[in-house]
Amino acid sequence: MTIKLPSIGFGTYLIANNQLEHCIPVALKAGYRHIDTAQVYQNEEGVGKALYKALRDQGLTREEIFITTKVYTGNQNRGQSPMTYLETLSSIESSLEKLHLDYIDLYLIHAPFCKNERVDQWRAMIELKNLGKAKSVGVSNYNQIHIEEIKQAGLPIPDANQIELHPWSQKTDLVSYLQRNTIPIIAFSSLAPLSNWRSQKGEKSSKSKQMKIDGEDPNSPFKLIAKKYGVSEAQVLLKWALQHKYAIIPKSSKHHRIKQNINLDSFVINSKDMETLSSLHRSDGGLAWPEGDPTLLV
């Protein structure tokens, strides 16, 4: 199944319920038609309330909006029991209730932590799709090994894989694998190289001090290319992803940045500058997860 996935979505990680009341109407007015959330973000309720009101106020229909949420199926390394088939099957009910929805457009397994239970959890996801509670189902932070498990079990492959991608973490082998298997790619943490990414107190990542210094360098390639095209560094990073045919889900609670992050049609990064950005790869392991990128798990 080929899903109709908007190329640009509004990410909501670390945005509180009360902030979403103001952010989501701004995002929809700016043209976003995809909203990404997750059970562990603890803001599905805020997304649901804001969406319900914004649809009414702006004259939009539910069918015009693409909603992604994710089920966190457990992590034994954190002392969490892996979800069973039945628990995974019932997990969607709380999301539907909080989001005030009859169905989810894209329901993802958040990470591949449950090695022995992954296949059963995926069976439950397929059943949710068959039941119509999710229009499409996919995964996040999965690598080739995890998806091959699904194929070897004789089950349908994911409708999408959401992974961390940016010039510092390009995951070329995984990207090639996903493209060969026609699995759409959604890039998250596209703005990780920027100096202000997760810079607030309590915002965790595996970013090193040197990376933060590099992001602040006035002669960094991101700053120089942004200046050349008359756009922001964030717009350069987002456009890089779009030109690689990745869907993106930039997140901001600042209204001017919400608008700026979707305003990407005014420029095209030329091939030489794309090569410069692609030369900045550091590691397949991304920065978003403090304990390490789950795509590196076996």
Residue 175 CA from chain centroid, whole number: 15
Q: Taking residues 158-182, report their average pLDDT.
A: 99
The answer to which of 88-92, 211-215, 236-240 has the lowest mean pLDDT is: 211-215
- Alpha-carbon separation of residue 56 from 50, 68, 168, 176 (angstroms): 10, 20, 41, 41
Active-site residue 41, yes or no? yes
pLDDT at 189: 98
pLDDT at 2: 74
> Residue 14: is its pLDDT beyond 70?
yes
Q: Taking residues 245-274, report their average pLDDT.
A: 98
Q: Taking residues 1-11, report their average pLDDT.
A: 91
Q: How confident is the model at residue 1 (pLDDT cuts 50, 70, 90)?
A: low
pLDDT at 187: 99
Radius of gyration of the CA atoms of the chain, in A = 19
Cross-strand pairs, 166: 169
Q: Rounded CA gap, 114 and 24, in Å?
A: 33
- The answer to whether 165 and 241 are in contact (CB under 8 A) is yes
Average pLDDT, the chain: 97
Given 13, 32, 41, 52, the catalytic residue: 41
> Residue 138: is its pLDDT beyond 90?
yes
Q: Where are the domains of the chain?
A: 10-296
Is this structure's pTM higher than 0.85?
yes
CATH class of the domain at 10-296:
alpha beta
